[in-house]
Amino acid sequence: MKGGFTRRDMLGRLGLGGTAVGMGMLAGRGFADEATDGDPERAGFAKNIKSVPPTTQDGPSAFIEGGKVMQPARELPVFHTADVVVVGGGAAGFSAAVAAARTGAKVALVERYGSLGGLFTDGMVLIVIGTGTRENGEFKLVTRGLCEEFLKRLEKMGDGAIVCRDPKVYQPTVDPEAAKVLMDDMVQEAKIDMFFHTWGVDVIQSGNAVQGVVFESKEGRKAILAKVVVDATGDGDIYQMAGAGYQQISHAIGSVYRLGNYDRIDRSKMPKDSKLNMGSLEPLKSTRWFNNLGPKGNGLDVRDLSRVEMMHRKSAWNYVQKLRKTPGCEEVFLLQTASQLGVRATRLLDGAARIDKKGAVSGKTFEDVVAFSGDDSLKHPAFAIPYGALLPKTVDNVVAAGRCISCAPDLIDRARLIPVCMVTGHAAGVAAALAAKAGVRPRDVPAAEIQKTLREQGAYLG
Ligand SMILES: Cc1cc2nc3c(=O)[nH]c(=O)nc-3n(C[C@H](O)[C@H](O)[C@H](O)COP(=O)(O)OP(=O)(O)OC[C@H]3O[C@@H](n4cnc5c(N)ncnc54)[C@H](O)[C@@H]3O)c2cc1C
């Protein structure tokens, strides 16, 4: 017993009524009388094991015919129906889903892993750069609206959630765990149907019009029907499956890792001429993050991805071991390697419009502008992103967001930054919701209507 509560009191408050699960939870919270030393039998888990009906039904298997592997046709269960389904829960997909829900759509968000944020959180790319530009010598934030709201709410989560190296330039570094928790909160507040561990593998299509997505999961292969699909997979998986045009590029594939016990380094013992890279600032004093820039690779080729994953992991391990052998640094350790490999860019949509470096540097804007990107170097003007850059030329009912929008390779290193992905996600979500509500194709939604809603939601459009 602790703090005057008996176990029974506490179970009652938790509404758990003394189940084995409840006992395990309390044991995990360190109640002395419930200590199990990590032994599941003593925690009573075994008593709670029951037989349940199978989750998946058997279907006809693939077979070999004439030396070719064939897959028989089969009916797919309809798992869910939504106005808007967003595939991919990275910075762009998170923003698209929240924006679509706030615009009044019934939204489903499909993510292949178990948390939101994509490269931003699970890829541990922790610094949000490209939020603004310099105007008359002053920093001006342009990635406003949902992106700004998210970062401000993160600031309120406490000391460990966000830090800015230079207060005059808004380029915050975030704690990835705080960011994931906040994304979960915002998705739940917006009443989005969140489906983790769900991998979008095909589209449902009638001619050029997409009508939903097929996914794979532990439940097997199932369908989600939707009026509009937002492709926020980062790699354009959805528009590729729907037959849209795109350009595929290779890029350096990086990987981030984090160092623990940074605050236990004794600098007085370190060699004076040490040129060791000590990583980048994080909100938590005890951690630092490092970016392995990486070799060029094809981010869609599983052999390349597997090779680069192992190469980066080994290199992170070796570097930290080297650090640990440095006088004063004995207590640092490899805290974490990113669970998402740093694929910078793969497919770039062939959109109704395309942004490129020449246009971006000129500072021109568009009648159908739906987002603005800042400039991480603060040397160039902010650049405008037209709605057409989110729309496939030929395929209907798909809107792209994030690092796979219609962009020339010469601009992708600016267009793929986290806040830019968030503002294109915001725009894609609003457009998708308006199209679904009006029962029209996304390309038929007047840009002025999208702009009006975006402005109402705090976005900057120049
Ligand atoms: C090494 C590296 C360093 C970087 N440095 C910076 C930096 O310092 N500052 C900065 O602002 N930006 C930086 N960037 C860029 C930035 O991190 C990314 O471009 C941005 O986060 C991409 O967001 P996104 O939502 O478009 O895509 P992603 O983050 O890739 O998100 C896509 C999501 O979709 C999911 N998904 C993919 N396919 C499917 C599918 N078929 N079905 C279901 N789910 C799917 C993925 O699991 C993922 O969660 C860096 C990128 C890399 C790789």
Provide long-range contacts, Cβ within 8 A and 24+ apart, for 300-304: 300/235, 300/248, 300/346, 300/347, 304/253
CB of 291 within 6 A of ligand 1: the answer is yes
Ligand 1 atom, smallest distance to 293 CA: 1
In the chain, which residues have pLDDT < 70? 1-38, 40-43
pLDDT of amino acid 8 = 42
- What's the CA-to-centroid distance between 254 and ligand 1, angstroms? 12
Q: Which amino acid is at 184?
A: D
Is there a contact between 335 and 260 (Cβ–Cβ < 8 Å)?
A: yes
Ligand 1 atom, smallest distance to 200 CA: 42
Q: Which of 25, 190, 167, 26 is nearest to 100 (CA)?
A: 190
**Phi, psi torsion values for 107, nearest 5 degrees:** -120, 140
Best substitution site from 85, 121, 125 to test ligand 1's pocket, by max atoms within 8 Å of Cβ? 125
Is there a contact between 373 and 422 (Cβ–Cβ < 8 Å)?
A: no
pLDDT of amino acid 59 = 82
CB of 442 within 6 A of ligand 1: the answer is no
Ligand 1 atom, smallest distance to 416 CA: 19
Best substitution site from 119, 194, 305 to test ligand 1's pocket, by max atoms within 8 Å of Cβ? 119
pLDDT of amino acid 24 = 39
The residues facing 205 across adjacent strands are 210
Helix axis angle, 418-438 relative to 146-155, nearest 10°? Answer: 130
CB of 112 within 6 A of ligand 1: the answer is yes
CB of 91 within 6 A of ligand 1: the answer is yes
CB of 417 within 6 A of ligand 1: the answer is yes
Residue nearest to ligand 1 atom 41, measured at CA: 200
Q: Is 80 exposed, middle or buried (0-12, 13-18, 19+ CB in 10 A)?
A: middle
CB of 119 within 6 A of ligand 1: the answer is yes
The answer for 183, left when phi > 0, alpha when psi is -120 to 50, beta otherwise, is alpha
CB of 347 within 6 A of ligand 1: the answer is no
CB of 195 within 6 A of ligand 1: the answer is no
pLDDT of amino acid 33 = 47
**Pairing of β 220-231 and β 209-217:** antiparallel
- What's the CA-to-centroid distance between 227 and ligand 1, angstroms? 25
CB of 368 within 6 A of ligand 1: the answer is no
pLDDT of amino acid 400 = 98
Is there a contact between 348 and 247 (Cβ–Cβ < 8 Å)?
A: yes
CB of 240 within 6 A of ligand 1: the answer is no
The model's pTM: 0.92
Is there a contact between 299 and 251 (Cβ–Cβ < 8 Å)?
A: yes
CB of 229 within 6 A of ligand 1: the answer is no
Residue 372's SS3 state is: strand
Q: Which of 223, 265, 186, 219 is nearest to 78 (CA)?
A: 223
Whole-angstrom distance, CA of residue 178 vs CA of residue 168 = 23
Q: CATH code for 78-249+346-456? A: 3.50.50.60
Is there a contact between 224 and 79 (Cβ–Cβ < 8 Å)?
A: yes
Residue nearest to ligand 1 atom 13, measured at CA: 417
Contacts of 76 (CB under 8 A, 6+ apart): 214, 221, 222, 223
What is the per-residue burial (b if ≥16 Cβ within 10 Å, else e) of 182-205? bbbebbeebebbbbeebbbbbbbb
- What's the CA-to-centroid distance between 91 and ligand 1, angstroms? 7
**Pairing of β 296-297 and β 246-248:** unpaired
Whole-angstrom distance, CA of residue 242 vs CA of residue 201 = 11
Domains of the chain, residue spans: 7-46, 78-249+346-456, 252-343
Whole-angstrom distance, CA of residue 391 vs CA of residue 443 = 7
- What's the CA-to-centroid distance between 257 and ligand 1, angstroms? 16
CB of 90 within 6 A of ligand 1: the answer is yes
Whole-angstrom distance, CA of residue 69 vs CA of residue 2 = 62
Q: Which residue has the tokens 């796979």?
A: 404
pLDDT in tens, 168-181: 889 999 999 999 99
Is there a contact between 321 and 257 (Cβ–Cβ < 8 Å)?
A: no
pLDDT of amino acid 136 = 87
pLDDT of amino acid 38 = 67
Is there a contact between 230 and 85 (Cβ–Cβ < 8 Å)?
A: yes
Residue 169: other Cβ atoms inside 10 A:
17
Whole-angstrom distance, CA of residue 131 vs CA of residue 236 = 24
- What's the CA-to-centroid distance between 270 and ligand 1, angstroms? 36
Ligand 1 atom, smallest distance to 119 CA: 29
Q: What's the N-to-C CA distance of the chain in angstroms?
A: 61
DSSP secondary-structure letter at 319? H
The residues facing 134 across adjacent strands are 139
